[in-house]
Chains A and B, each alone.
Chain A
Amino acid sequence: MATHTRTPASRRTVRHRLAADVGLLVVAATFVLPLAWVLLSSVDPHANLTVKLPDGVTLDNFDAVLTPEITFTPLLNSLLLCGGGTALTVVCAALAAYPLSRFRSRLNRPFLLTILFATSLPITAIMVPVYALFVQVNLIDTMQGTIFFFAASQLPFAIWLMKNFMDGVPKELEEAAWTDGASPLQSLVRVVLPLMGPGVAVVTVFSFVMMWGNFFVPFMLLLTPEQMPAAVSINEFFGNRGTVIYGQLAAFSVIYSTPVILLYVGVARRLGGGFALGGAVKG
Chain B
Amino acid sequence: MKRPTRPASGPSPHPVLRSLTRALPLTPATVLLLLFLAGPIAYCAYIAFTDLQLTGQAEDSFIGFENFRTAFGDEAFLNAVWLTLVFTVISALIGQNTLGLALAALMQRASKPVRTLVGGIVVTAWVLPEVVAGFLLYAFFRREGTLNAVLDWLHLPTQNWLYTLPILAVSFANVWRGTAFSMLVYSAALNEIPKEITEAAEVDGAGGWRRLWHITLPMIRRSIGTNLMLITLQTLSVFGLIWVMTRGGPSGKSQTLPLFMYEEAFQKSMIGYGTAVALLLLVVGSLFSVIYLRLLRTEV
Contact = CB atoms under 8 A, between A and B. Distances in A.
A120 B230 contact: yes
Interface string B224-253: 011101100100111110011000000000
A125 to B, nearest CB: 4
A20 interface: yes
Contact of A159 (B29, B130, B142, B279): B29
Interface string A246-259: 10010001001100
Interface string A1-31: 0000000000000001101110111011001
B215 to A, nearest CB: 17
B40 A274 contact: no
B22 A99 contact: yes
Tell me what chain A mostly uses at the interface: helix, strand, loop, or mixed.
helix
B122 A34 contact: no
Interface stretch (B70-78, B163-171, B283-291): B283-291
B130 A178 contact: no
A27 B187 contact: no
A24 B132 contact: no
A215 to B, nearest CB: 3
Contacts of A273: 119, 184, 187
B39 A50 contact: no
Contact residues on B (Cβ < 8 Å of other chain), bracket: 35 or more
Nearest to A187: B9
Interface string A111-153: 1110011101111111111111100000000000000110111
B64 interface: no
Interface string B15-49: 00001001111101110110111011101100100
A125 B290 contact: no
B90 to A, nearest CB: 16
Contact of B290 (A35, A117, A264): A117
A124 B239 contact: yes
Given A103-B22, A275-B184, A215 B271 contact: no
Given A33-B140, A128-B265, A283-B225, A21 B114 contact: yes
A125 B278 contact: yes
Given A24-B118, A128-B274, A231 B129 contact: yes
Interface of B: 6, 8-9, 19, 22-26, 28-30, 32-33, 35-37, 39-41, 43-44, 47, 52, 99, 102-103, 106-111, 114-115, 117-119, 121-125, 127-132, 135-137, 139-140, 142, 144-146, 149-150, 176, 181, 184-185, 187-189, 191, 222-223, 225-227, 229-230, 233, 236-240, 243-244, 258, 261-262, 265-266, 271, 274-275, 278-279, 281-282, 285-286, 288-290, 292-293, 295-296, 299-300
16 contacts: A21-B111, A28-B122, A34-B139, A92-B29, A96-B28, A96-B30, A99-B23, A100-B26, A118-B37, A122-B236, A126-B41, A128-B261, A215-B130, A249-B135, A260-B128, A283-B296
